[in-house]
Structure formats: C-alpha cells, structure tokens
Amino acid sequence: MTAAVTTRIMDLFRDLGGTVYTPLLRPGSWDLAFTNGLVIELDEELHPNRYRQPTLDQGLPWSEDYAVNAVSRGAECLAVGRWGRRWSHP
C-alpha cells in the first residue's frame, strides 16, 4: 500500500469518526483475487450502510446506484451488524 493510499484511507477513517490513532490497515481475504493485483470484494448484507457513501464519492460509475441501495437496505444492514461484534463502534 502506498503512502498516498494510506493517507487517503486514514483521512476517510477520521471523517467517519474513527478514533483509533493508528488502526491496523490489513485487507482481509477477497472474493476474487487476480495475479495482476486486481482484487474484488463482493458486497454482502453488512456493506450497504450510511458509512459507505463517503467511500464511494470517488467518481465511481456505480456510486449513485449504490447510494440508493445503501439507503433502501440500511435497516437490514444494521440488524445484521448488531450481533457478533461485527463492528468496532456502536
């Protein structure tokens, strides 16, 4: 991960209210990983939530559609995320 990418991630982390001074940036396993370095994470029920929108404001072609999905499925996402310590912040 480059220094510029790390800086962008940390800025976004703080914008979302992150309070850990230096969180561990460790990508997890990916749904699809290719030898050229491309990785793809397929969204599941924890992904469409109100915190996702700032991460999409990068000019991606699907940002608007995803935002609509995040609003319409936000309650479902919260219900799934409430159990099992899936999120680190209440």
**pLDDT digits over 1-25, tens only?**
678 878 888 888 888 887 777 767 6
Residue with the bigger pLDDT between 10 and 83: it is 10
Mean pLDDT of 81-89: 72
Q: How confident is the model at residue 88 (pLDDT cuts 50, 70, 90)?
A: low
- Dihedral angle sign, alpha carbons of residues 56, 5, 86, 22: negative
Residue with the bigger pLDDT between 29 and 78: it is 78
The pLDDT, as a whole number, for residue 58 is 65
3 state DSSP class of 69: helix
- pLDDT per residue over 43-60, tens digit each? 777 777 777 777 776 667
Above pLDDT 70, what percent of the chain? 81
Tokens standing for 24? 């561990």
Determine contact, residues 51/16, Cβ cutoff 8 Å. Answer: yes
